[in-house]
Structures are given as C-alpha cells and as structure tokens.
Structure 1
Amino acid sequence: MTDPTQDPRFLRSPCPALAAMRATCPVGPVPAGSGGRTDYVVTGYKEAREALRDARLSKDTAAFFAGKESRRRLHPAVAHTMLTSDPPRHTRLRRQVTKAFTTGAVARLRPFIVRVTDQLLDQWHEGEPFDFVAGLAVPLPVVVICELLGVPPADRADVRRWSAELFAAGEPDVIDAASHAMAGYMTELIAAKRLDPGDSLLDRLVTARDGEDRLTEQELVSLAVLLLVAGHETTTHALGNAVLALLRHPAQLDRLRRDPDAIPGAIDELLRFDSAVSTATFRYATEAVTLGGTEIPAGAPVLVALGAANRDPARFPDPDELDPDRDAAPHLAFGHGIHRCVGAPLARAEMEIVLRAVLARHPEIQLAVPGNQLAWRRTRLVRGLSSLPVLAPGARTPTIE
C-alpha cells in the first residue's frame, strides 16, 4: 500500500484517499521514509477506538528511539511531553492540569473569550475581505491559552510564531530551532514567576513543582510548552475547518444563523466532519498486536487517522454529509481513552462563542476566493487552513467550489 499523503491533492481533500485505504483494510501498512520502516495506519472507527485505548500501543517515544541514531535535535522538553508518556508518569502529569479545564473552570473564562472575540471581529468591516484564520482563528486561542497560563501580552506574538514553526512539515531544522526557542522562553518565564508569583495555571504548576516536588524541572517546562502549543494550535484549525464547512453547506449555515441555540449541538458534528487533528500522535506496538484483522509486529509504529475514523460509514451513516442533527458525540476528534484531549471543554467553548458572534455580526458571511484556491497547512498531524478569506455583504464574491 502506498502512502496517499504524498499526493499534493491529499492536503486539500484527504477523505477520498483515506476512504480507499479503509475500504481495502481498516488497518494497513504503509512505507515510511527511505529507511525501509513500515508504519501501520488505522482508518476504521472501531479499530481506532481500540487502538487509542490499547495499553500495548505505547506512546513512550524515548523508549522507542533509544539507541537509534538521529540527526534531530529537538529540545527534550518538547520531545518528551505528557503526550509521549505512558502511565504512571502520564497519570501523574495529567493530574496536574485537569482541574484547569473542567466545565466550571472554562465557564469562568467565557466572559474573557467573548470580549476578545468581539475585539477581533471589530477589525472586520462589511464589504471588506477578512482573513478568518489570521484575524480570528489564530489570535483568539493564542490569547486565551496565554491568559490562562500567564504569558505576558508582549510575548504572545513570539509564542505564536514558535508554535507554528513546530508544525513546519518537511523543515526539521526549523522545528528543532523552534523547540529550543519555546523551551528556553518557558524556562525564563517559570523563573520569573518564582520571583513574582501570580495566580495563573503556570504559577500553580510552579507551586506543585517547588512545594510538593511532583514535577521535575524538565517536566514543568514540558507541560508548559505542551499546554501552550496544544492549547491553541488545534483550536485554530477546528475554527477554520468549521467555518469553511458551513460556508460550503449553505442550508446548514442558514439553520444555525436562524437558530443560534443549535450551535452547541452542532459543534460535535463540525468536529467530526473535518477533524483538526488528522492523525493522533505517535504510538508503537510493544508486542505483536492484532487489530482489525491485521497483525502489527512488535516495534512497529501505529498511526491512528482520526479524520478517517470520523468518516467511517460503519459508524456514521452518510459520513460525507454535514448534518447538525446527527449524534456525533462519539467522534474521535479529541481522541479517546486516557490521552483524550484535556482541553476539549475549552475548545468547545471557543468554537461556540466564535460561531455565535460571527453569525450574529456577519450573518451573510461568504468565501472571498474560489474554494480550490484555499491554502492548507502542509502537515499530516493537523489539518487546517493557512488562510480563509471571507466577506460580509457589500462586495462581489466568487462561486464556492
């Protein structure tokens, strides 16, 4: 089986290629790079759920790459995070941050999210083009997670740049340099918070490190970097994908415009329809595992294609249709099992607030360019737009393709 992600058409529309893989076999081998390695890609929904909760599929990348020669120089705080660990270490690290993303904690953030959303939308004037990604989908999650962590406003542009560079597919030197820049910055910020404590999430993590010694210094920096990057990167893409999906489905857009109280229920379907995380982070088999009728040998990497699983017709009838009334809650856009996204409640809140505000203030939102001219990020891990030019009434718009 060849790797369809090498086809330039894949970034724009991955579903047909992934559906073909799933129809052939819900768990299949694909060649990985030039070293002769074989990865196993999971595209079926049932098989994906099994893989995501199978303890035999380890996320301990340090163990996998031990003894293997590598030219990469990722900072250890970026290479070895909560996402690249197994219990009991993963359990201990996750416990430190879970309380910050409860429904109640997110509810207290909502007024701040609403205020920032309105400020950003103030920059969009009717009749003028507006890049939804650069103007709203990028800055809003950055500001929110930076506020939560206590990152000073003056530093947020740098944080966003380093985060984007960490996902620069095909540019390992850029990724490595960004990892050191981000880790170095967080190390300095942590030191500053020790001298002048506040009440942010990062301040509380510093207290946990220094008071109860639950975190090593590297674990503290690692958690800070992970929360900063994961806290906005995927939400940015989820927002862009959701708005584009609605623009391409006018009836559903009109439905939500007329009944904004239906927006919270539609969010799961929007997340399912075009998942911001295309492929779950790295796993490998610690022993031979049979999944979906395919035997995966010990030591083989396993890539769970969340986007493909969310379009599996065996779980979601007519999966290529956007249906806001669908019960899409079992989708895998946030993952599944012990590694399910801890920030899911915050991402949902941001999506709801943004969609309500956009449809209230610019109910006739339209694409400003033909659909086939949209640019997508060149990375397999996340799926998101580089830009999304939109218009409100007052300007001539092209046909959506």
Structure 2
Amino acid sequence: MTAQPLTTQLPQPFDSAHFADPYPTYARLRDEGPVHRIALPDGSPIWLVTREADVRAGLTDPRLSVNKAHSGTGYKGFSLPPALDANLLNIDSDDHLRLRRLVSKGFTPRRVEGMRELVQAAADRLATRLTSRIVAEGHADLVREFANPLPLVVIGDLLDVPEPDRRPFSSWVGTMIAPEQPGQVAEAVDHIQRFLIDLVALRRTNPGDDLLSALIAARDEGDRLSEDELVSLAFLILMAGSENAQHLISGGLLTLLRHPDQLAALRADPSLLPGAVEEILRYAHPNQMAIRRFPTEPLEIGGVSIPPGDTVLLCLASAHRDPARYLDPDRFNIHREDKAHLALGQGMHYCLGAPLARMEVQVALSTLLGGFPDLALAIPADQLSWRASFRSHALTALPLVTESSSAEDNSKGAGGEL
C-alpha cells in the first residue's frame, strides 16, 4: 500500500489545452499511475482515479459516499442551498433507495416511450429551422439552433415548465457549471432555486399530467417527498435532462463528422444507430467525472492509501479510453462489440433517465442524418470552441454548412451564379 505525500504544491493538469482535448492528459496520468493527488482549477485538493477497473469498482464501493457530510476540509464544489441539494446525487444507501423508489413511480418507461412522438416532432421543427438558417446565411450553429433547444422542449414538457422559462433555466445551469465572472455561480443558483420553488408551488396547486405533478402525488407506504426533496429532484432532472443531452447531441454529431468512414456506415445502415449511440456515450460523453465521493474510512484504490473525508473523483473519460479495458480505445467504432461503458453510472447511482437520454439522442441524430445528407463543419475542427471546464467536455458552438450551401457561397464569391 502506497501513501502519497500531501504537499502544498499539487500539480494542476487541467489547463486551456486540456479543455479542448482532455484525452492526452488522461493517457499520461493513466500511464503514470492509477490514482493521483492533484489540485483542481479552484485549488481544491482531490484524488483522481484514472483506470477503468478502479473507476468501475469505485462507483459501487459503499465506503465511497456521495454525501457531503462525510467530506473533510478541502472540498469546495457548488455551494447549493438545501432546497437544491437534497437529491439523488448527494444521498447514500437507505435514503437513496427511498427517493429512487418514489421518483421511479413518476419516471416510468411508459412515460418515456410516450414522449417519442413529442421528441420527433420537436426535432423535425428544429431541423427545419436549421435548414432555413443555412439557406439564409450559408451556415448555422447546431448548438444554438438544434442541440440546445431540443432537450429543453423534452424536459420542459416532462416537467411542464412554461415555454418562456426554459432557455433562462438552461443559461443559469451553464453559468453555474462554467462561470465567466466571480459571483456568477451564486447568482445563477439563486435564480434556479427561486424558479424551482415557484414551479413546485404552481404544480401543487394546479397538477397536470407531468412528471413533477406525479412526484408531488407519489406515495410509498405512506411516505412522500418533502418540499426540499421535490425542489432538489426537479433541479436534478432539469439540469441532467437538458445539460447532458445538449452536449451529447452536438458532441455526437461532431464525432461522426470527424470519422467519415463511421458516418458513411451509419448512413448506409440506420439500424446501426443504437450501437453508434452507445459508442458515442463511451467515446464522447461530455461528463468527464462521476459525482465527487468521500471515503468514510481509510481505503486503498490502485495500491494508493486515501484518508477518510478526502475528495475522490472517478474519471469516467479516462476509464473509457483505458487500453487495459477496451480494444483500441481511442478509435471511434460504431461496430464495437464491447458496448459496456460507465457514462450513465453504475449500481445504485445508475441514471434513472437513461432510457430518455438514449431515445432523445437517437431521434436527434437520426433526424439530422436523414434530413442533411451533406452536413460538414464550417470551420476547421481545431478552431472549435469548448467550454472552459474540467467537468464537462462540451462545445460552445458547432458551426455547420452543407456541401450545397458551401458550393453556392464559393460560386458567389468567385463572381458567378450556379
């Protein structure tokens, strides 16, 4: 067992180059060792777990608590009020199972499948808007025109969020995760809390056929969700249901465009789409880390001794590129037979919204590939802009053209008409 020294000058591997392409950093760290004591950009000391076997085991290790009550000094993270913090990402064992039972009563597969027509209709409308933008301007930003609004329509309908409030909520979440100025996190959290408290109050007095109304009405042998639990779960569902899906759609399409052989195979055989989505979840999932964890007792990971109360980050993105687990892991391969990944969690914390996420990304990519046979990047891939976050590898914009629009622009630029 090796105890790594705790120094005041910890390495900080997450710089601007890492935000654009994090995988070389993870490859180096994996090669150097399974666990690293590093500092996050805000100065917080953490233990970073890089290898797939250790990450997979850590996700189900009951000694690694997600409850911040087990945190020692050093963890900062988001300062969320109790009304946003009492959700499944912060609760262990019995309390977690209790909440999960209640939530599952509203988040049924039947409800999710019943949303497929809604998702397809929204994707069709947004694809038409994307076409109009490309025709009018010669190019369009997929993030703004399609990838961001589609999940907001879906999750907004699931919770019956008023249409005018959906984009502001998405903006507040984005600011909370990747603030540009000091103080923006607290302001964004305040907006989110007040919005969700009002939304729960509205659904309580005017229930409908939506998930939030179902959660308010949910019972389990006389048990029910408290007010803080309701607001916190609404926060988690809205945040995860919009944020992750938005970046999966844009990142998934970019991955396909950067691998034309795989894109051609998918266009030739659309039945490969479910497997392609699983490979996107492994290869290009935006979430780099699982939710932070805190040892409740001294433990050993990868031969490294970690004290109780320290912060442990299980690096999903590194695990998904581990050559000890996956054959040729840096290759994007929609025919990959080993489709197992950790992108949607493991064990107790497996994502309740996984069926919705899969269905939504499948519909989005199917609509884009079917409606745009000649999509292409409008700028070189190395000029794309990425969110400045070690937690989320996410595009801020994805400018696209079609070959026909690009040819027309070039012809006009040469002084002629087609």
Fold-level similarity (TM above 0.5): yes
CA distance in 2, matches of 1:243, 1:71: 31
| Residue 96 (1) aligns with residue 102 (2) | yes
- What is the CA distance between 1:50 and its match in structure 2? 0.6
> Which position in structure 2 is the counterpart of 1:116?
122
1:377 pairs, out of 375, 378, 387, with 387
Percent identity of paired positions between Structure 1 and Structure 2:
38
- Structure-2 change in CA distance of 1:220 and 1:167 (3 Å): same
1:262 to 267, 272, 276: 272
What amino acid is the match of 2:322? D
1:2 matched to which residue of 2?
11
Tell me the distance in 2 between the aligned counterparts of 1:153 and 1:194. 19
Aligned length: 395
Partner residue, 2:225 = 215
Q: Residues 209 and 216 of structure 1 are in contact (CA less than 8 Å); yes or no, is this contact kept in structure 2?
A: no
- Unpaired runs of at least 5, structure 2: 1-9, 410-418
Letter in 1 for 2:13: P
Is the Cα contact below 8 Å between 1:77 and 1:225 reproduced in 2? no
Kept in 1, the 8 Å contact 2:275–2:339? The answer is: no
- TM-score normalized with structure 1 length: 0.92
**Matched ranges for 1:147-166 at <5 A:** 147-166=157-176
Match of 2:4 in 1: none
Q: Which has the higher mean CA deviation after the structures are superposed, 99-108 or 148-157?
A: 99-108
Distance in 1 (CA, whole Å) between partners of 2:12 and 2:66 is 22
Matched, 1:291 2:301: yes
Comparing 287-296 with 14-23, greater Cα deviation is found at 287-296
Specify whether residues 176 and 257 from structure 1 end up closer, same or farther in structure 2 by C-alpha distance, changes over 3 A only.
same
* Cα distance in structure 2, aligned partners of 1:102 and 1:55: 27
Residue 171 and residue 58 in structure 1: after superposition, are their counterparts in 2 closer, same or farther (change >3 A)? farther
- TM-superposed CA distance for 1:207, in Å, is 1.7
Q: Which residue of 1 aligns with 2:413?
A: none
Point out the more displaced range, 357-366 or 199-208.
199-208
Distance in 1 (CA, whole Å) between partners of 2:77 and 2:293 is 21
1:105 aligns with 2:115: no
CA RMSD, aligned part only? 2.4
1:188 to partner: Cα distance? 1.1
Hey, what does 1:19 align to over in structure 2? 27
Residue 86 of structure 1 is matched in structure 2 by 92
Q: TM-score when scaled to structure 2?
A: 0.89
The residue identity in structure 1 corresponding to 2:125 is: Q
Q: How does 1:2-401 map to 2 (within 5 A)?
A: 2-5=11-14, 7-32=15-40, 38-64=45-71, 74-125=80-131, 127=135, 128-169=138-179, 171=181, 173-208=183-218, 212-396=222-406
Q: 1:134 Cα deviation (Å)?
A: 1.1
Distance in 2 separating the partners of 1:71 and 1:28 = 19
Shift of 1:169: 4.4
Kindly provide the amino acid, as one letter, of the partner of residue 3 in structure 1: Q
Aligned partners of 1:262, 1:116: CA distance in 2, in Å?
A: 23
1:68 Cα offset (Å): 8.4
In the alignment, the residues of structure 2 paired with residue 96 and residue 346 of structure 1 have an alpha-carbon distance, to the nearest angstrom, of 18
Q: 1:169, 1:379 within 8 Å by CA — same for their partners in 2? A: no
Q: How far is 1:109 from its partner? A: 0.7
